[in-house]
């Protein structure tokens, strides 16, 4: 596969539509509410973000095989020892970018107004998170395509992608539990979280394998909503309709 050089410092809007240090933190057993971060945590996350962005750029330009950890550190402006302080491998370095979009999506879902049915809230938040609103975000989605295409031939990069999705699914269960209430069926919550997470994952993977546009039919938002609707029978379990 050919990797095309792109302008430096472009970001991936879906994969990282917010800086990682702005992403909400979730604690086990509760809430989707963000907690304040300390200055040290923000600095650490900022460094991780710079490294992750540099890795994503180089992977998109050259592919993982032709990218070294040293080159990622150089582009990020950090020492190699700093790179390994935060990441175990060059592939692992893109995890903050892959997780950032999901964090924003879950935060938007958690802010759903009372009375909105969960299937509707899921569909709206998914479509919103995958919609490019300007030229920069459209180009960023194309970068996303390049990164996922690179993962096709790199098992380690693919493993990072699946790990991030699994972690997102587990956190989504907390959000759905907060919205559905204490009487919600735990199995239904788990199935709904899996369905929604897979809708986004499958949509992005399917789109990356094609030459479909960034908006309209066949775009990530369109594919994700279609996937979710196919799985809507699962999410309806949370509406507890009589």
Confidence band, pLDDT 50/70/90 cuts, at residue 4: very low
pTM for this model (two decimals):
0.77
Q: In the predicted model, what is the mean pLDDT of residues 25-54?
A: 70
Residue 58 lies in a domain: no
What confidence score (pLDDT) does residue 9 get? Answer: 28
Residue 31 lies in a domain: no
What confidence score (pLDDT) does residue 96 get? Answer: 86
Given a contact cutoff of 8 angstroms between Cβ atoms, the answer to whether 20 and 45 are in contact is: yes
Confidence band, pLDDT 50/70/90 cuts, at residue 229: confident
Give the helix ranges, DSSP H, for the chain: 39-62, 69-76, 80-86, 95-110, 118-129, 135-152, 155-180, 186-208, 220-230, 232-235
Q: Which of 128, 113, 55 is nearest to 86 (CA)?
A: 55
Q: In the predicted model, what is the mean pLDDT of residues 211-228?
A: 92
Comparing 24-33, 193-202, 228-237, which segment has the lowest mean pLDDT? 24-33
DSSP labels for 141-206?
HHHHHHHHHHHHT-HHHHHHHHHHHHHHHHHHHHHHHHHH-TTS-HHHHHHHHHHHHHHHHHHHHH
Top mean-pLDDT range of 71-85, 91-105, 177-191 = 71-85
Q: In the predicted model, what is the mean pLDDT of residues 65-85?
A: 97
What confidence score (pLDDT) does residue 238 get? Answer: 58
Residue 23 lies in a domain: no
What confidence score (pLDDT) does residue 23 get? Answer: 35
CATH of the domain at 218: 1.10.357.10
For the purposes of burial, counting CB atoms within 10 Å of the CB of 79, is it exposed (0-12), middle (13-18) or buried (19 or more)?
exposed
What confidence score (pLDDT) does residue 1 get? Answer: 44
Residue 38 lies in a domain: no
| Predicted confidence (pLDDT) per residue in 111-124, tens digit | 998 888 888 899 99
Q: In the predicted model, is pLDDT for residue 20 greater than 90?
A: no
Q: In the predicted model, is pLDDT for residue 183 greater than 60?
A: yes
Cα radius of gyration (the chain): 18
What confidence score (pLDDT) does residue 145 get? Answer: 85
Number of independent structural domains in the chain = 1
What confidence score (pLDDT) does residue 164 get? Answer: 93
Which residue has better confidence, 177 or 232?
177
Which residue has better confidence, 19 or 205?
205
Q: Which of 73, 51, 58 is nearest to 3 (CA)?
A: 58
What confidence score (pLDDT) does residue 27 get? Answer: 35
Which domain range does residue 96 map to?
A: 91-235
| Predicted confidence (pLDDT) per residue in 94-111, tens digit | 998 888 778 888 988 999
Residue 154 lies in a domain: yes
What confidence score (pLDDT) does residue 140 get? Answer: 66
What confidence score (pLDDT) does residue 188 get? Answer: 87
Residue 176 lies in a domain: yes
Comparing 14-18, 33-37, 130-134, which segment has the lowest mean pLDDT? 14-18
Residue 179 lies in a domain: yes
Residue 15 lies in a domain: no
């Amino acid at each position: 596969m050919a990797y095309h050089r792109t302008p430096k410092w472009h970001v991936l809007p879906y994969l990282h539509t917010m800086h990682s240090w702005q992403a909400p933190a979730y604690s086990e057993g509760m809430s989707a509410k963000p907690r304040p971060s300390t200055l040290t945590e923000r600095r650490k996350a900022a460094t991780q973000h710079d490294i992750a962005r540099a890795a994503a750029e180089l992977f998109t330009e050259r592919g993982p095989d032709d990218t070294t950890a040293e080159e990622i550190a150089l582009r990020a402006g950090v020492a190699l020892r700093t790179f390994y302080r935060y990441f175990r491998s060059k592939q692992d370095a893109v995890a903050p970018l892959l997780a950032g979009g999901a964090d924003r999506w879950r935060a938007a879902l958690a802010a759903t107004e009372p009375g909105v049915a969960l299937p509707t809230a899921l569909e709206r938040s998914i479509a919103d998170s995958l919609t490019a609103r300007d030229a920069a975000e459209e180009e960023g989605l194309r970068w996303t395509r390049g990164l996922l295409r690179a993962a096709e031939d790199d098992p380690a990069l693919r493993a990072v992608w699946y790990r991030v999705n699994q972690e997102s699914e587990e956190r989504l269960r907390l959000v759905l539990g907060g919205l559905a209430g204490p009487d919600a069926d735990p199995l239904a919550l788990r199935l709904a979280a899996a369905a929604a997470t897979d809708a986004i994952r499958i949509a992005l993977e399917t789109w990356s394998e094609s030459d479909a546009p960034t908006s309209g039919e066949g775009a990530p938002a369109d594919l994700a909503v279609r996937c979710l609707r196919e799985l809507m029978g699962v999410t309806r379990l949370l509406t507890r309709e009589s």
